[in-house]
Chains A and B, each alone.
Chain A
Amino acid sequence: MGAGHAHKLYRQAASPVHDLPPHCKIAAVFLFVIVVVSTPREAVWAFGLYAVLIAVVAGAARIPAGFLLKRLLIEVPFVAFAVLMPFVVPGDQVHVLGLALSKNGLWGAWNVLAKGTLGVAASVILASTTDLRALLLGLQRLKLPSLLVQIASFMIRYGDVITDEMRRMSIARRSRGFEAKGLKAWSVLAKSAGALFIRSYERGERVHLAMVSRGYAGSMPVIDDVTATGAQWRYAAVLPASALVICLLGWTL
């Protein structure tokens, strides 16, 4: 897709990973995550190997390590929960630096942390090598319910429009001397959010009107379709297949 401007999640580059059809990549990432999640948490080495796999894919996609690591920060709020686990989960205790930690909790925290990080890393690679439009085509190709694809596509189209509207409302508020501080401001902000909701709702009605006027009858016509060759599928399958081998080893060793 030769979109003039890309979304900021996407990282323009020429690489074999960028060239893969989107639905192959989505399927590969999905299977990879499933395999990682089904790996026993005690097989610590397996997670190390998964990380190596991710690093190899990132290398093939020409994604610098720093870029990937920075994107991983999105995980932090979820990880906060994992950090709590050693303190709150009941069971055998171990003492580290004078702190009483639950053994079960430590394993639990490791489990969440390792699997979460690998999943997020795989998704970051997917998002950096596939632009949003292509992702939607991929999902459509993978037969995700068309209503969900439509909703996602409208989110992309109207995200900026609504953000713009929000910004204009904020400018209008501030131009009349409003500064958002203190409890009192909350009521104003809540009313603005309500107004924004109603405006967006009404826009939704107008968009629907425009769609119906051009012959929309409940389903989106397929305008673009993506196809993949057997070779492309096999190439995309390398990631989940190697992960599967590691996972099986993790269960048997």
Chain B
Amino acid sequence: MTSSAAPASLEVSGLAFAYPDGHQALFGIDLTVGRGERVALLGPNGAGKTTLVLHLNGILTGGAGSVKVAGLPVEKRNLAEIRRRVGIVFQDPDDQLFMPTVREDVAFGPAASGMRGAELEARVHKALERVGMAEYADRPPHHLSFGQRRRVAVATVLAMEPEILVLDEPSSNLDPASRRELADILRALDVTVLMVTHDLPYALELCGRSVILSGGTIAADGKTADVLADEELMRTHRLELPFGFDPRAAAAKA
């Protein structure tokens, strides 16, 4: 799957992890995401998706195996650079947006890495522009609608110009229009995306490739249309399509 010369955006190999209470969440994960790819990470609740995501920027460490982001290993001495390269958008935008105004929130990441002044201002404006929220820069986040907050949350990590954008349930709690608007924004971005989601039509719409994580191992890795159409596979891993949704027909239409 990986493209030629440039190192893959994400290389996970042999990653295993057990929580301090003994619960083993990951059993040897191998996953490579090439530059510019959009990959959906599917799986039932408790499959280890969040655990995997928290390994990508070194919040969780200490298990076996390795994670590399654009060739740089996730290690203590690289953490600052890793966290700049891996932009995680968490599920609840109220957790993600912690500054008093939208502008300051988007500025937080780049400012933390030392950017100041006009350069910072330009970076913030560009990130907000990309999600269509530039005119809300001076608003406090709690005065925005949920969909707007989710878009600002995406801008906060875009402002760091990440190598890979990791989205945790990007479509959750969005009304259909906001959900589509977010899809348009994500499609227009020229960045590698790893999208954790239960929203299978959304995965089909946005991601050419899907990976099923189940019971702490990769259970499937292939074209989204094929993965979703494999009824046996889907049933085994507690994945269900919405009523009346036919992945083959939808993929053919797209």
Contacts and interface: CB of A to CB of B under 8 A. Distances in A.
Interface of A: 1-5, 132-133, 136, 153-154, 156-158, 160-161, 203, 206-207, 209-217, 221-224
Contact of B112 (A1, A133, A216): A216
A224 to B, nearest CB: 7
Interface of B: 54, 57, 59, 80, 83-84, 86, 88, 90, 92, 94-101, 104, 107-109, 111-114, 120, 138-143, 156-157, 160
Nearest to B115: A221
12 contacts: A4-B138, A5-B139, A156-B100, A158-B98, A207-B98, A213-B57, A213-B83, A213-B88, A215-B80, A221-B111, A223-B111, A224-B104
Given A157-B140, A206-B90, A210-B90, A217 B98 contact: no
B120 to A, nearest CB: 7
Contacts of A2: 138
Contact of A207 (B80, B95, B111): B95
Nearest to B153: A210
A115 to B, nearest CB: 33
A246 to B, nearest CB: 37
Contact of A153 (B57, B97, B99, B157): B99
B95 A210 contact: yes
A215 B109 contact: yes
Contacts of B100: 132-133, 136, 153, 156-157
Contacts of A216: 108, 112
Nearest to A222: B111
B98 A157 contact: yes
Q: Is the interface of A mostly helix, strand, loop or mixed?
A: helix
A206 B109 contact: no
Contacts of A223: 99, 104, 107-108, 111, 120
A158 B97 CA distance: 10
A136 to B, nearest CB: 7
Nearest to A2: B138
A3 B138 contact: yes
B108 A221 contact: yes
A221 B112 contact: yes
Contact of B142 (A154, A157, A221): A157
Contact of A217 (B59, B80, B156): B80
Nearest to B136: A4
Contacts of B54: 209
B140 A3 contact: yes
Given A3-B138, A214-B160, A223-B120, A157 B113 contact: no
A213 B142 CA distance: 21
Given A3-B140, A4-B138, 17 more contacts: A3-B138, A4-B139, A5-B143, A133-B101, A153-B99, A157-B97, A157-B100, A158-B94, A207-B95, A212-B83, A213-B59, A214-B108, A214-B157, A215-B113, A221-B111, A223-B104, A223-B120
Nearest to B98: A207
Contacts of B109: 214-215
